[in-house]
Copies of this chain bind each other. A is one copy, B any other.
Amino acid sequence: MRTYLVTQSDHSLDRGTADVVRAAIEGGVDVVQLREKHATARERYELGRELRELTREADVPLVVNDRLDLAVAVDADGVHLGDDDLPVSVAREQLGDGAIVGRSVSTVEAAREAERAGADYLGVGAVFATRTKDVRADDAEIGLSRVEAIAEAVEIPFVGIGGVTSENAGDVVAAGADGVAVVSEITAADDPAAATRRLRAAVEDRRVEA
């Protein structure tokens, strides 16, 4: 889980999300999360089925943001949950042991709690202040010291998210993250495949072996 793409068509320079995902796969992305915050469930369902084909062909895991029913409907590998979503325990119950269940956290305590609740991985952030407009007030910058603290506190893998670029991705994994998750760094890149390769190289370069 070194490079993790979170989709958002309105940060994709008028390219379709499927095209961005295709390019990210070409660049070696490890995980794709279907987010599309502003789309209806029906739209995400249609898009999710398309992404499932692409990711399955490439053997790349697909997780769905927020909704278990959507994850089941598109035959995704799992879900990614936040504070406002259904609990990890409910996801585990509905999706089974084989599903990937991820959880967004920003504190050591929340990271420990998510691990105890059975999350398979964490999204930790916002590591840096993000450049995108639709950041929620609680997406405050947690910084690299918090990444270090969470790396010490939990055993499950995690990606750093929030303001991550190929410039600072190395610092994030050097602080203990297993990889990085990005939206715009890939979706809004001139060349999403090249951006993914750059990100991947930055992570490989300074990744701490567990």
A interface list, Cβ under 8 A from B:
40-43, 45, 66-70, 72-73, 83-87, 90, 94
Q: Is the CB of A94 within 8 A of B66?
A: no
Chain B proximity of A96: nearest CB distance (Å) = 13
> What is the bound-complex CA distance between A72 and B42, given in angstroms?
19
Given contacts A45-B90, A67-B67, A90-B45, contact A40 B73 (CB under 8 A): no
Given contacts A40-B84, A67-B67, contact A73 B90 (CB under 8 A): yes
Contact of A73 among B45, B70, B86 (CB under 8 A): B86
Contact of A84 among B42, B70, B83, B85 (CB under 8 A): B42
Chain B proximity of A95: nearest CB distance (Å) = 9
Which are the 8 A-B pairs with shortest beta-carbon distances? A68-B69, A40-B84, A69-B69, A73-B90, A41-B85, A42-B84, A41-B86, A45-B86
Chain B proximity of A6: nearest CB distance (Å) = 18
Number of copies: 2
Which residues of chain B come closer than 8 Å to A90, judged between CB atoms? 45, 69, 73
Which residues of chain B come closer than 8 Å to A69, judged between CB atoms? 67-69, 72, 86, 90, 94
Which residues of chain B come closer than 8 Å to A94, judged between CB atoms? 69, 72-73
Q: Is the CB of A42 within 8 A of B83?
A: yes
Chain B proximity of A20: nearest CB distance (Å) = 23
> What is the bound-complex CA distance between A201 and B191, given in angstroms?
66
Known: A41-B67, A45-B90. 19 other contacts (CB 8 A): A40-B84, A41-B66, A41-B84, A41-B85, A41-B86, A42-B85, A42-B86, A43-B84, A45-B86, A45-B87, A68-B68, A68-B69, A68-B72, A69-B72, A69-B86, A69-B94, A70-B86, A72-B94, A73-B86
Chain B proximity of A129: nearest CB distance (Å) = 24
- Nearest opposing residue in chain B for A42, CB measure: B84
Which residues of chain B come closer than 8 Å to A66, judged between CB atoms? 41
> What is the bound-complex CA distance between A70 and B68, given in angstroms?
9
